[in-house]
Structure 1
């Protein structure tokens, strides 16, 4: 079989049985998407639909604010379809993420780290207002973000696990994964519990103010427009060290080369299993570890 476009490789990721000693955790291997993260699903859907409906036309420029993964996915999609891409990202993002973006041909605009992704979003909006040829992706408000996970990740998880799911755990970045997968699972089984993961002290769902932390991809410092807090059953805060420890465990015990948001999801799953050891938990491994070489994941003494 041959494929015409790299975006044809998006989705259909394996579901891995992590077989923890404390209970059952199953995770979609989203790091196996072509650019290395779960955001490929969202970028592929938004860009392909925009081309089809004419809102993204030749000569226009794709622009987005991102903590890294969505920017990389959009840069991949832009390169595949021949569009320029500008990504606004705070300076605290890892150097690897910046380099991957530049490798894919994207223009990168860095914003002050203390403003978190919210500052990048403000700079993006100013850009969009001044240039009529900008296609604004708006992952934080675009409901196609939810649809990508409803039609893809959620449906796949349900089929992978034969509908035997008690709980879904997801970090909250743009919120599309939680809202899309959660909606699909709840339609199939209203009793499925939905648990959000956020960095300790930076949980927008708990009303915390923006705060710098080391778990890139979640905890962006504001509550995204597409997220309905009432849809979520509970919130677990995870420390940087817990995310690192669990990412290392996934590498050394399971051979999985994944990033810190994967570690955060696993840390939350372990905490849930202490109270509900019989539950079958579904989650995702959102990205690969190569975009964390300069972070505490690799600078940790255990490495």
Structure 2
């Protein structure tokens, strides 16, 4: 049956085994969210954010939408808002990749830049200031909107459980907290023994746009009670895992995928998970939006990682 519109085409992404990268005694699987219509997991969130606002009467024809984002949420919102006639403004850190800016411009989005050094927290700050100054702007605010984790509770997690009923652990990057909270809650209801791990950047590391909550901003939607561990991963390990994924499994993914995959490899340890555990890693997007950054260029990986130390990914 054909989808009614683009919002109806979201989800149903493949779950793919990683036989070459799975350590002995463990099975790794990758949930390929890059197969959503605009190429990222944020399509799920955007569809839910806009639908919830419409149901509540906060959005109507001609409404103006504002959202802080490091790219993917903005692109997803743009695709959902465009056919509905909603004008969209996105606040992006000024070091967001060029591909994302081009895509947003193509959708007719107004782009406001926030300081690179403040990361995604800076985008949140600027957007909040703009919303306070203009009451006609509606900000879905994915960081604090329950529709964000609800999208993963109602779609992402059930899809994984349908494809892999005996999943034993989930690993996802800690960004807004929506995936970990929503999918984590659904998994714990299904089986309280399923382990939920957050891939978290080292303190002060801006690469791949994930979030270290020790830096001060804890997303309101994040429910830390569902987490069995927050595991740090640095830029170099994330980049190496991303490249290994391409050469070993033929999957071209963004560096935030590499971050989660690096953590998944670390938890394949009898001290954390029993042998035989099946582990699902959420891949937020593919690598095509990052080609201009040099992340995939040939050469010394450590040097490339160092050169990308101020680039946002997620």
TM-score, normalised on structure 1?
A: 0.91
Q: Which structure 1 segments of 5+ residues have no match?
A: 202-210
Q: 1:281 aligns with which of 269, 272, 279?
A: 279
User: 1:294–1:216: structure 2 CA closer, same or farther, 3 Å change rule?
Assistant: farther
Q: What is the distance in 1 between the residues matched to 2:141 and 2:282?
A: 22
Question: What is the alpha-carbon root mean square deviation over aligned residues?
Answer: 1.7
Give a deviation string over 1:228-284, Cα, whole Å, max 9, x none. Answer: 223311111111111111111222222212101111111111111134342211121
Q: How far does residue 302 in structure 1 lie from its aligned partner after superposition?
A: 6.0
Q: What is the distance in 2 between the residues matched to 1:74 and 1:148?
A: 14
For the pair 1:46 / 2:49, whether they are aligned, the reply is yes
Q: 2:192 aligns with which of 190, 193, 197?
A: 190
Q: Tell me how many residue pairs correspond in the alignment.
A: 293
Contact kept in structure 2, 1:67 and 1:217, CA below 8 Å:
no
For the pair 1:148 / 2:148, whether they are aligned, the reply is no
Q: What is the distance in 1 between the residues matched to 2:62 and 2:205?
A: 37
Q: 1:171 aligns with which of 170, 173, 176?
A: 173
Residue pairs, 1:1-303, within 5 angstroms: 1-19=1-19, 20-22=21-23, 23-162=26-165, 164-201=166-203, 211-219=204-212, 222-275=217-270, 276=273, 277-299=275-297, 301=299
Aligned-partner SS, 2:253: coil
Q: What is the match of residue 207 of structure 1?
A: none
Deviates more, 1:128-137 or 1:139-148: 128-137
Q: What is the distance in 1 between the residues matched to 2:298 and 2:202?
A: 19
Aligned-partner SS, 1:298: coil
Aligned-partner SS, 2:75: helix
Q: Which structure 2 segments of 5+ residues have no match?
A: 302-314
Give a deviation string over 1:137-176, Cα, whole Å, max 9, x none. Answer: 11010011010000000111111102x1211111110000
